[in-house]
A and B are shown apart, each in its own frame.
Chain A
Amino acid sequence: MIKIAQLSCGTEYSSVQYEIDKAARSVGASMTYPDVSASDIDAAVERFGFKPQSPQLKLMIARAVQLADRKYDADAVFIATCFRCAEGALVRNELRRFIQDNTKLPVVTYSFTERLKAAQLLTRMEALVTVVTRKELLARERQTGVTVGLDSGSSTTKAVVMIDNVIAGKDWTPSGDVIRSAETVLENALKEAGVLMKDVEAIGTTGYGRYRLGKHYNAKLVQEELTVNSKGAVWLANKQRGEATILDIGGMDNKAITVRDGVPDNFTMGGICAGASGRFLEMVSKRLKIEVTELGSLADKGDWRNAKMNSYCSVFGIQDLVTTLGDGKTFEDVAAAACHSVAEQVYEQQLQEIDVRHPIIQVGGTSLISGLVKAVGEVLGSKPIVPENSQYIGAVGGAILSSGFLEG
């Protein structure tokens, strides 16, 4: 059983502890609380240096110190506080930093409301468990044999066929029925690669539809997208060694993952609102009556400063868009403002929860929208790397990791 140490405030009184335990159980883990005695607490808070007013936050700090001093054994760390609590948010983030500075344990942070359900935590918990249990597999740097990766995302479904560490075939389609979408892209990818299904030695599935696809294709690897995408991203960007941050602005949620030698050690996954995701850019394109693929080059020509837009909420964002167009702003400026707004939201909501390490590798379908990449670069002060085939990270990661099951 994988032990996930929980450092939290407010989970029980928010009625979400049950959901946290449920999510952990469903991925073969259990939540544990590092033991502390009353006499440990003052010294721990003093050492940490941040002295919160709330006693439960002090207890969180003391528990973190137990982990840092190896007085308590755990495999991973889950740090959570109530959404909208300023004191909690400060302690949560600084404790995450403290754990990372003092241990090698993978960490995930979360701010919850009373409406948190286990399903929202599943991918995060599963990723923590994967990092612990599949360390060797995740360290894999080469693909071998003939393998397929299938990424069933909320917006698009992607397939990649890899043969001896080379992408031999690939295809994508907007997601419809999980199985049918996958069948279509797989068929085309196989055709391009010039291999038949019977030649395929292993399949890896990831994304929201991973379990259904895994069952349908009898996949050797069925794994959440945080670890799989990380692998695909560092392979595509040829940054398998050292540190990096992977930024994936997805159709439904955004992921920011820090990796060390290709293995994630901290990640955030946002998605309380679609305002800061690729979905907003799709909505903007629709309103401008252009393809989302054209939005990027349009944005490149515009200046976001000329149009006011805030995508914190996609409904208000579209209202801003309508007003801006009504004011006679150009499509170029509006497109640039939409991209800038998404980049800003990602910065405000995701990137505050991790320590950005360079280089930044931007991936996923939205990384093809050049205006968005430019906006991310402007907001972060450093231009992200967008590797070739960046939209195929999940499928590539699935193909690489599934080949790990072929040997031995």
Chain B
Amino acid sequence: MSAERETRLIVISPASEITPDQVSRAIHAMGKNVTVKESCYGAVVEGQRDIVRQVVSEIKSMDPNGVFSKVRAYPAGDPRRCRAHHGTRPGFAQLEQEWNDLWKIQYGLDRADRGEKARKRKTPGKLPVGEFKKICEVKR
């Protein structure tokens, strides 16, 4: 495939109302020259880079804070990474974990859009020796 090929994972936050089926139907309806494969997390869309990016951007607009995406190195169904041949690919468990947590990010994006600021980060320190000593002495 040409160097211009782009394969994108579209991943829907578990808290989003959008379904993978809606995503793939929406892409089909766009009538663009891309291939779409529905997945349990969303869809894999593949085609020429600029068209794929356009498609992703349109899909994201369906739920801007609930639809996420990243590029995928391998073309869809590439036998070099096909689950049917080799079992899960090495990065799958991570994707699964991040998908699980996307609802938090979605929530964070919503709050950031409302202008919320980041809280001051507290660095959890160790108990000072003196205080620890006091606790030990009380317990004795």
Contact = CB atoms under 8 A, between A and B. Distances in A.
A168 B87 CA distance: 51
A10 to B, nearest CB: 11
A38 B87 contact: no
Nearest to A58: B93
A27 to B, nearest CB: 18
A32 interface: yes
Given A38-B97, A38-B100, A56 B90 contact: yes
A164 interface: no
B86 A32 contact: yes
A37 B86 contact: no
B90 A59 contact: yes
Interface string A36-52: 11110100000000000
Nearest to A21: B86
A35 B87 contact: yes
Interface residues of A, number: 13
A36 B90 contact: no
B16 interface: no
B123 interface: no
A38 B94 contact: yes
Most buried by B among A35, A38, A41, A56: A38
Interface in A1-40: 12, 31-39
Contacts of B86: 31-33
A12 B90 CA distance: 10
Contacts of B57: none
Nearest to A63: B87
B96 interface: yes
B54 interface: no
A6 to B, nearest CB: 9
Contacts of A33: 86-88
Interface in B2-47: none
Contacts of A37: 88, 93, 96
Contacts of A39: 96
A151 B96 CA distance: 52
Interface string B79-104: 00001001110100110110010000
Contacts of B96: 37-39
Contacts of B87: 32-35
Nearest to A62: B93
A69 to B, nearest CB: 16
Nearest to B88: A35
A32 B82 CA distance: 11
A38 B93 contact: yes
Contact of A36 (B83, B88, B100): B88
A35 B100 CA distance: 18
A38 B95 CA distance: 9
A140 B42 CA distance: 55
Contact of A41 (B83, B90, B93, B100): B93
A38 B94 CA distance: 7
A12 B87 CA distance: 15
Contact of A59 (B83, B93, B97, B100): B93
Interface of A: 12, 31-39, 41, 56, 59
26 contacts: A12-B90, A31-B86, A32-B86, A32-B87, A33-B86, A33-B87, A33-B88, A34-B87, A35-B83, A35-B87, A35-B88, A36-B88, A36-B93, A37-B88, A37-B93, A37-B96, A38-B93, A38-B94, A38-B96, A38-B97, A38-B100, A39-B96, A41-B93, A56-B90, A59-B90, A59-B93
Interface of B: 83, 86-88, 90, 93-94, 96-97, 100
Given A33-B87, A35-B88, A37-B88, 16 more contacts: A12-B90, A33-B86, A33-B88, A34-B87, A35-B83, A36-B88, A36-B93, A37-B96, A38-B94, A38-B96, A38-B97, A38-B100, A41-B93, A56-B90, A59-B90, A59-B93
